[in-house]
Structure 1
């Protein structure tokens, strides 16, 4: 099966609140607008989707906006 798109989820590390959820992401990069706040810690994870469905969510990666 050929990859069609990714779904990317970004959450606040402290609260677990959803900050960003982008579906139909094509390619390997994503530009994020001002939805993220300086000095906050976040985590993101991703799933890949094709005609057969979507994979399980990848292990989260953590980052901080400086």
Structure 2
């Protein structure tokens, strides 16, 4: 049986932490930034973690089990 390929988009968007959690970036930080407050833009810059319910799907896209 062939190996499952890693999803190219997923490997660019997600990264594993040392403890096995999945890091992600926040959305809404790419354009239309003039109407967003400084605080909002600053908070969107920080990385977040993928929610527990989505971890299984993201790990499948990354080729992890």
Which TM class, normalised by the smaller chain length? under 0.3
Taking structure 2 as the reference length, what is the TM-score of the superposition? 0.28
- Higher fraction of strand: 1
- Higher fraction of helix: 2
Taking structure 1 as the reference length, what is the TM-score of the superposition? 0.27
Larger radius of gyration: 2
